[in-house]
Amino acid sequence: MILIYINKAHMRLSNTSLKSKGRQIFKIVIIIFVTIYLSAYVIYPWLCRSSASRDERTIELPGDGIVQNSIYGYTLAKTIKAPSSKIWPWLAQMGQGRGGFYTHEWIENIIGVDIHNADSIIPKFQSIAEGDSIRLTPDPYFELPGQYLVAAD
């Protein structure tokens, strides 16, 4: 009789701990789904427009018509109080294998894009024309064709 009583107590303990573990797993799943939702529908859209004014986000820009019915898109902007003649040389040399992207290169290099940001104007990268390609990643990149940004007028 004592043996049966111990078994019932053990069964009650097991059911209680299973319920507790089930609740913990349920809470973790809810936290994961909330995080994914916030990332996809709140944080990402905010990041895609946070630095641009309302006018900058709604204006039609060169290249907007290249991809028809796009699902995602973003406009980033930064106001720099300097004449374009001082800014253009830095923009002209942007790209992988050129002057970099003036971002946190250590983050980009974690994913293997081999970015090195220039800290001065590089004369050999100053001539860029419509249709020139600017590499975003090495070519090939993880055994796939590299990614490019195409300059358009």
Residue type, 152: A
Q: How many residues does the chain have?
A: 153
pLDDT in tens, 91-124: 899 988 899 888 888 888 888 888 899 999 999 9
Q: Which two tokens stand for residue 127?
A: 């001539």
pLDDT in tens, 10-57: 555 555 566 777 788 888 889 988 888 877 777 777 777 777 888 887
Q: Which sequence spans correspond to the domains of the chain?
A: 80-153
CA distance 142 to 135: 15
pLDDT on residue 64: 75
**73 pLDDT higher than 80:** no
Residue type, 11: M
pLDDT on residue 3: 46
Closest Cα to residue 105, out of 122, 117, 93, 96? 117
Q: Which two tokens stand for residue 4?
A: 């049966």
- State the pTM of this model: 0.56
